[in-house]
Amino acid sequence: MSKGTKVPGYMQGKGSRNPRGIIGDREIRYKCSLQNTILDVLRGRPGWQEVPGQNNIQPNVNQANPKQAGQQSTGQQQANTGKSGSGSTTQGTTSGYKGSVRNPQGPGTQSAVPTRLQGDGDWDFYWCDREWLAQNYDTMFLYEHQKILHFRNHYELTRKNLMVKNLKRLKKQTERELGKAEGQSFEFFPTTYELPSEYHIFVEEFKKNPGIIWIMKPAARAQGRGIFLFRRLKDITDWKKGEYQPLSDPNREVPETYVVQRYIENPYLIGGRKFDVRVYVLVVSYNPLKVWLYRSGFARFSNTRFSLDSIEDTYVHLTNVAIQKNAPDYDPDKGCKWSTQQLRKYLSAKHGVEAVKKAFKGIDNIIIKSLQSVQKIIINDKHCFEMYGYDVLFDSDLKPWLIEINASPSLTASGKEDYDLKFGLLNDLLNVLDLENRLTGKEKRVGGWDLLWEDGPILADDGNMECAPNGTTASIPNSFLGCHNERKRQLRELYTAAQSIKKS
């Protein structure tokens, strides 16, 4: 092998004293299953090369071919600030060949024959979709340095029924061990029941509170599909008549799982319109739990003024862009979004900094409690990471409520501002993962991402008091959702400092 020959990462890792299987000076090879902003980000990163080919599995391949046919995709070169980010050397419960993994559907383990991805030694980073991971994860071979999107059983947090089930369980455990008062910190999700399994329990609760509004949601659908509001029990018995009866016919199709929740009837309104807030959260490890919170996000507004007189109008009650863009008077240029920075400024001007600080601290609590509810259930793997999209709604008292958590938040931009937000978000995510190994691994901020939790709460450094009240001297959490996000300047300073530390 000549001196100038590019060496695959898995070969470079052999004999190296660096446990991360450092990639070195060669290009970073990636695969991506999506055709949206993430692909633009990957193609725009200097030194990153796209691996061509399909997402195929070849069982029992003795050795992957590191020089698979195909040329580098030139892609669209975009301006890029910084090559990488925080080097997090997280520990996982699995590594390398996953010959035996816990079956998330039941107790015990399932055996697997080793398989390798086609050309698996020729990629370092893979932004895959959930369906592909579910089909291939249990029999994949991953080298030390490879990173892949999604944890194996991410759905424990992102399916609506499982999310509530896990939160209820942790709440009961907290009350049992620490008392009822501590359990109050879990009062951030509405009263919820799973249908059809908890239908009779729901009916009892429904009869205790006549006249209130409930909302039905499919447990595993997204973008507002299948959601509707109702006041009368007849509305759902007519909707799926006989579905909740025992399955006497073995050939009868099992009904789709739904959740039914008390509708939040007093949402905070701006301009008479309802909105929720999309918050981006990055988890690079569940054991120990390591969580990053992105400073920027957006508030999604309904296109029609809020009213409880028309509960059948989805343009009034659902803020999903997939729903609102079909409204008759929807303006695609104007859209229905505010940046989180705009929202925080508006709320601070109207209610004061302290009240808004308390409200946003409630979002931090939602994030950590929800992740802790699945910490012992998620199959942790040092090769995996997850970027969640949390949807949070404020009520008229500025109390935040968790609506749902998305494992695959939309990365398709609805406009230029949305594109810039998501481009920076994803670029900085790659910086945090730090495949180039340019940082020290001790950073509390990388671009727009702030380290919120690392086996315990992270406190902000002295002098980093953005969004804090004037005169604040006490330590505050390292959380800056909706605060100023000069990510490019911060990255320049960060890489300069990290380079100096490494040289010394």
Residues 100-119 have a mean pLDDT of 39
pLDDT score recorded for residue 223:
66
> What does each C-alpha distance from 268 to 58, 150, 263, 273, 308 come to in angstroms?
53, 33, 13, 8, 14
pLDDT score recorded for residue 78:
35
Least confident of 92-96, 180-184, 216-220, 454-458: 92-96
Predicted confidence band of residue 307 (pLDDT cuts 50, 70, 90):
confident
At 226, list the tokens: 């299948």
pLDDT(142) > 60: yes
Task: Give the C-alpha separation, 32 to 44, whole Å.
Answer: 13
At 202, list the tokens: 């729901």
294 strand-pairing partners? 449
pLDDT(422) > 50: yes
pLDDT score recorded for residue 234:
84
At 434, list the tokens: 């730090």
- Identify the sign of the CA torsion 415, 417, 418, 422: positive
Residues 162-168 have a mean pLDDT of 96
Task: Give the C-alpha separation, 296 to 480, whole Å.
Answer: 9
- Spatial neighbors of 126 by CB under 8 A, at least 6 apart, are 30, 31, 32, 146, 147, 148, 149
Q: Pairing mode, if any, of strands 289-294 and 273-286? A: antiparallel
Q: Please give the order of strands across the beta sheet that includes 192-195.
A: 192-195, 258-262, 214-218, 228-230
pLDDT score recorded for residue 87:
34
Task: Give the C-alpha separation, 141 to 295, whole Å.
Answer: 35
Predicted confidence band of residue 240 (pLDDT cuts 50, 70, 90):
low
Predicted confidence band of residue 318 (pLDDT cuts 50, 70, 90):
confident
pLDDT score recorded for residue 502:
80
Cβ atoms of 200 and 378 within 8 Å: the answer is no
More confident residue, 475 or 30: 30
The residue to which tokens 């109050």 are assigned: 184
Task: Give the chain's length.
Answer: 504
pLDDT score recorded for residue 211:
87
Average pLDDT, the chain: 79
Residues 139-147 have a mean pLDDT of 88
Burial of 26 (0-12, 13-18, 19+ CB in 10 A): middle
CA 179 to chain centre: 30
Highest mean pLDDT: which range of 106-115, 386-395, 466-475: 386-395
The residue to which tokens 């018995």 are assigned: 237
Least confident of 93-102, 130-139, 144-153, 238-247: 93-102
Question: pTM, whole model, 2 decimals?
Answer: 0.81
Phi-psi sector, 380: left (phi>0), alpha (psi -120 to 50), beta: beta
Q: Kindly report, residue by residue over 4-19, the tens digit of the pLDDT.
A: 443 333 233 333 333 3
Residues 328-346 have a mean pLDDT of 81
Q: Kindly report, residue by residue over 359-385, the tens digit of the pLDDT.
A: 999 999 999 999 999 999 999 999 999
Predicted confidence band of residue 76 (pLDDT cuts 50, 70, 90):
very low
Report the chain's C-alpha Rg in angstroms: 24
pLDDT score recorded for residue 468:
63
Cβ atoms of 138 and 97 within 8 Å: the answer is no
The neighbour count for residue 20, using CB atoms within 10 Å, is 17
Least confident of 67-76, 185-194, 338-347: 67-76
Burial of 123 (0-12, 13-18, 19+ CB in 10 A): buried
User: Which of 55, 66, 43 has the alpha carbon at shortest distance from 134?
Assistant: 55
Predicted confidence band of residue 202 (pLDDT cuts 50, 70, 90):
very high
Quote the Cα angle for 151-155-161, to 5°: 160
Indicate the SS3 state at residue 431.
Answer: helix
pLDDT score recorded for residue 218:
86
pLDDT(58) > 60: no
pLDDT(477) > 80: yes
pLDDT score recorded for residue 120:
52
At 346, list the tokens: 């508006």
Predicted confidence band of residue 499 (pLDDT cuts 50, 70, 90):
confident
> No. of H helices and E strands in the chain?
14, 21
pLDDT(431) > 70: yes
Predicted confidence band of residue 107 (pLDDT cuts 50, 70, 90):
very low
Q: What is the DSSP letter of 182?
A: H
More confident residue, 20 or 446: 446
Predicted confidence band of residue 55 (pLDDT cuts 50, 70, 90):
low
Q: Report the percentage of the chain scoring pLDDT > 70.
A: 71
pLDDT(227) > 90: no
pLDDT(21) > 90: no
Residues 91-117 have a mean pLDDT of 38
